[in-house]
């Protein structure tokens, strides 16, 4: 199960609508904690907690710039999750192909 810790953190981070909104916002440009908190209608402390989860999942990074903290997306972190989803999709697709083949074989069989 150790191999899935990174994916688990990613999916856990993505499981919250506020965190997904933060990622969507950061997709267009970097932002300060205040700029992220204001439209979400939450406190700076609340936003910092969301950002900590996103940083622990490796989806976001931040740095202190003057008196504020600027956040940006971390490129490539979703690649591992995407690879897992693709692998799972291929497995499911393979099962559907097998079921379809079995159904095709039995169509002409009155049995």
Residues 28 and 54 in one domain: yes
Question: Residues 33-75: pLDDT tens digits?
Answer: 999 999 999 999 999 999 999 999 999 999 999 999 999 999 8
pTM for the predicted model, two decimal places: 0.75
d(CA 32, CA 22): 11
**Residue 35 is part of which domain span?**
2-74
Domain count, the chain: 2
Do 49 and 55 meet the contact criterion of CB atoms below 8 Å apart?
no
What token pair was written down for 30? 């970097």
At residue 1, does pLDDT exceed 70? no
What token pair was written down for 97? 């192909």
Residues 84 and 59 in one domain: no
**Residue 19 in 3-state DSSP?**
helix
Residues 46 and 67 in one domain: yes
Residues 19 and 69 in one domain: yes
Percent of the chain with pLDDT over 90: 59
Q: Over range 101-107, report the average pLDDT.
A: 73
Residues 87 and 43 in one domain: no
């Amino acid at each position: 199960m150790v191999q899935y810790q990174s994916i688990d953190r990613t999916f856990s981070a993505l499981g919250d609508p506020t965190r997904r909104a933060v990622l969507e916002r950061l997709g267009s440009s970097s932002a300060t904690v205040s700029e992220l908190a204001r439209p979400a209608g939450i406190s700076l402390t609340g936003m910092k907690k969301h950002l900590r989860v996103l940083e622990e999942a490796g989806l976001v990074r931040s740095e202190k710039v003057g008196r504020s903290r600027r956040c940006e997306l971390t490129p490539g972190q979703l690649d591992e999750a995407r690879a897992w989803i693709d692998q799972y999709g291929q497995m499911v697709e393979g099962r559907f192909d097998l079921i379809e083949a079995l159904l095709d074989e039995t169509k002409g069989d009155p049995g």
